[in-house]
Amino acid sequence: MAIGLVGRKAGMTRVFTDAGETVPVTVIEVLPNRVTQVKSQEKDGYRAVQVTYGTRRPQLYSKAVAGHYAKASVAPGRALVEFRLAAADKSDLKAGAEIKADLFKEGESVDVTGTTMGKGFAGVMKRHNFAGGYASHGNSLSHRAPGSIGQRQTPGRVFKGRRMSGHMGGVRRTNENMRVVQVDLERNLLLIRGAVPGVEGGQVIVRPSLKAARRAIRKTLAPIKAGSGPSKDPAKQGKK
């Protein structure tokens, strides 16, 4: 997993292309991420880069966490986030270094992770898109009911995973293959096409797209199909 950025969802707006087309974008404020710790395979058992962002009053932290920031000579931030590194990933970052918005470029594909909006207790029609019952013609008190949830004495229970009403939202979700429309380095902003999970002001994590990286690897390792190579027939090569 490559190194990404931790930011704050500022809201949504739109930008216009040179052709006059409107593009809906989510504005993510990515203040410089400060490296608090670089973990190694020899010492910690895995490779990772730990970062923080933003500011927070030091008295809100325990002495252990405050000491962790002080050891790295980094101002306390809003949260600590780790980016794990694979064996092939190279990183020359050190504690105290900064990662800024120029980590990404316009047109790059990214994955955005956030916590979805909490919807509270929701019924099956809102939570699972159930169609509901008949709206008229003798239907009474069953317009939005879930319907049957089981059988009779056999099996005599409700199967696990049954879609029913319950708490909706407030879970961690990742939107994949989102395109970076614009990078504003002066104001520390990323404009990403489409909607990302979370409420305005919520924490989001932006990483390079995993699927785009795997797709690039497949293109380089794709075998040559039969008949797609250069022909050995002189007539087809234009030779006499």
Q: What is the DSSP string of 134-149?
A: -SSSS--S-SS-----
Q: Between these two residues, 42 and 86, which has the higher pLDDT value?
A: 42
**Cβ atoms of 116 and 197 closer than 8 Å:** yes
Q: Tell me which CATH code domain 5-116+178-221 carries.
A: 2.40.30.10
| Rounded CA separation 110/119 (Å) | 27
Task: Give the pair of three-digit tokens for residue 166.
Answer: 């319950």
Tell whether the model's pLDDT for residue 240 goes beyond 70: no
Q: Is 13 helix (H, G, I), strand (E, B) or coil?
A: strand
- Rounded to two decimals, the pTM is 0.82
Q: Closest Cα to residue 98, out of 52, 55, 39, 58?
A: 52
* E strand segments, the chain: 5-16, 22-29, 33-39, 47-52, 80-85, 98-99, 109-115, 120-122, 166-168, 172-184, 189-193, 203-208
What mean pLDDT do residues 47-54 have?
Answer: 93
Q: What is the pLDDT of residues 150-170, one digit of tens each?
A: 999 999 999 999 999 999 999
**Residue 92 confidence class, pLDDT cut points 50, 70, 90:** confident
What mean pLDDT do residues 88-116 have?
Answer: 91
pLDDT score recorded for residue 238: 58
pLDDT score recorded for residue 224: 62
pLDDT score recorded for residue 220: 78
**Residue 34 confidence class, pLDDT cut points 50, 70, 90:** very high
**What mean pLDDT is reported for the chain?**
90
pLDDT score recorded for residue 239: 54
pLDDT score recorded for residue 228: 61
Strand partners, 84: 48
Residues of the chain within CATH 2.40.30.10 domain(s) are: 5-116+178-221
Q: Among 12-16, 21-25, 27-31, 221-225, which stretch is predicted with the lowest mean pLDDT?
A: 221-225
Within 10 angstroms of residue 162's Cβ, the number of other Cβ atoms is 9
Tell whether the model's pLDDT for residue 223 goes beyond 80: no
pLDDT score recorded for residue 201: 94
Going from the C-alpha of 17 to that of each of 21, 22, 181, 190, the distances in angstroms are: 5, 7, 10, 16
| Rounded CA separation 29/239 (Å) | 62
**Residue 87 confidence class, pLDDT cut points 50, 70, 90:** confident
